[in-house]
A and B are shown apart, each in its own frame.
Chain A
């Protein structure tokens, strides 16, 4: 089995258009979750993390001519703009050849261009844009990649599952490089749905906190490049060493009270890695801050004897970015491994009434060798992945 190295990356959220910008704001304890009063997004004002329209326009304008001379920004959907910007940033810093047949693109998204459902005119102009495989094709063809791109659409574990899929393909020698792009936008479609579930926090979400009462939606895009070639790895070198998914088999929206699926995914990842729980130095939780999710994750960590491992959630900074979450948060996990900096859980102050876990409540320096990323989603799905510093 080939080794899987982590190459360059990019994060776009309300906190910035690059990974560095996002980390800078995280270190400065800034949240991008704000009150938005936009009747096109929600009947009532609601809290969310949304990429600034003007900044997006300026950034996209900067690359449009390079990719599509003669086309206008309006010819592209919001998600397409974000994906192109993100992939471009990651690839421009990477020796990985995007146009090579040994390179594959994988798109992770839960709803793609679902904003088109509210815009019949735009929909009719290009009806294929409603389909995720079209968005993936747009992305890979923008970089002249000759392969059929793949799409993972598996609720909130999509991003992490796409990374696991990419790693498996490299391990099994199917491709040398895989570019994983995850993205989802804020829409009335999604906001109204979560509002009907009464699961949105009235403010920035508070993962694992006693006063937590729901999630914050966020839009974002993340690109991460995985490669079998050690010379393409970013430094300090990080490897993907294990990953797994598992289902609760319990309920389609509520997580298992026994955390069955997440427990199994963690166990499977640990078995594959050959590590003991004692060797995991840090966990990036899913941490959506809903009462049930956080309770379930605390259960999973206790069941796997990792209740003392420093754990955080990033969702207080830029919200739950759905299909992008697994990618964005894996990138941050990897940066923590590389820099030795663990980021505090924005929004956490007082431990909630959940099983005891070790929530990181201030930015800390810690030299860790193995980090784990977790994700869970609607449909009872769960995923876990382990990254190692060489």
Chain B
């Protein structure tokens, strides 16, 4: 799980263009959409694309996004539970 969390942090940094932020700067349990990272509604949609592109997981209802993308850990847990990529 910790490997996946680290990988996710790197992917989030790349996909959401969070320049000058390192994986160490992101706390796995802190809310992603709080002040700190400055993520907005477009970033929320991008995370949906990230999940599909990198993990083959399609989120049918975007409203589920709030729970899934709460933190890096909740994302990792969701991926582990739904992963279709070997």
What residues of chain A have their CB less than 8 Å away from a CB belonging to chain B?
Answer: 196-198, 251-254
Contacts and interface: CB of A to CB of B under 8 A. Distances in A.
B49 interface: yes
A198 B45 contact: yes
Interface in B35-67: 40-42, 45, 48-49, 62
B49 A196 contact: yes
A254 B42 CA distance: 9
A299 to B, nearest CB: 18
Contacts of A196: 45, 49
Contacts of A254: 40-41
13 contacts: A196-B45, A196-B49, A197-B45, A198-B45, A198-B48, A198-B62, A251-B40, A251-B41, A252-B42, A253-B41, A253-B42, A254-B40, A254-B41
A252 B41 CA distance: 10
**Which 8 A-B residue pairings sit nearest by Cβ, starting from the closest?**
A198-B62, A254-B41, A253-B42, A197-B45, A198-B45, A196-B45, A196-B49, A251-B40
Contacts, number: 13
A252 B49 CA distance: 19
Interface of B: 40-42, 45, 48-49, 62
A251 B49 CA distance: 21
Task: Select the residue from A196, A197, A198, A251 with max chain B CB neighbours within 10 A.
Answer: A198
Given A197-B45, A198-B62, 11 more contacts: A196-B45, A196-B49, A198-B45, A198-B48, A251-B40, A251-B41, A252-B42, A253-B41, A253-B42, A254-B40, A254-B41
A193 B80 CA distance: 29
Nearest to B63: A198
Contacts of B40: 251, 254
Contacts of A253: 41-42
Nearest to B59: A198
A220 to B, nearest CB: 27
A197 B42 CA distance: 8
A343 B49 CA distance: 40
A196 B49 CA distance: 8
A254 B40 CA distance: 10
Contacts of B62: 198
Nearest to A251: B40
A251 B39 CA distance: 12
Contacts of B42: 252-253
Nearest to B48: A198
A370 to B, nearest CB: 36
B68 to A, nearest CB: 14
A42 B42 CA distance: 21
A196 B42 CA distance: 10
Contacts of B49: 196
A251 B40 CA distance: 9
A261 B49 CA distance: 31
B45 to A, nearest CB: 6
Contacts of B45: 196-198
Contacts of A198: 45, 48, 62
B57 to A, nearest CB: 16
A252 B42 CA distance: 10
B72 to A, nearest CB: 22
A198 B49 CA distance: 11
A205 to B, nearest CB: 17
A362 to B, nearest CB: 33
A198 B41 CA distance: 11
A300 B45 CA distance: 27
Contacts of B41: 251, 253-254
Nearest to B44: A198
B66 to A, nearest CB: 13
Contacts of A197: 45
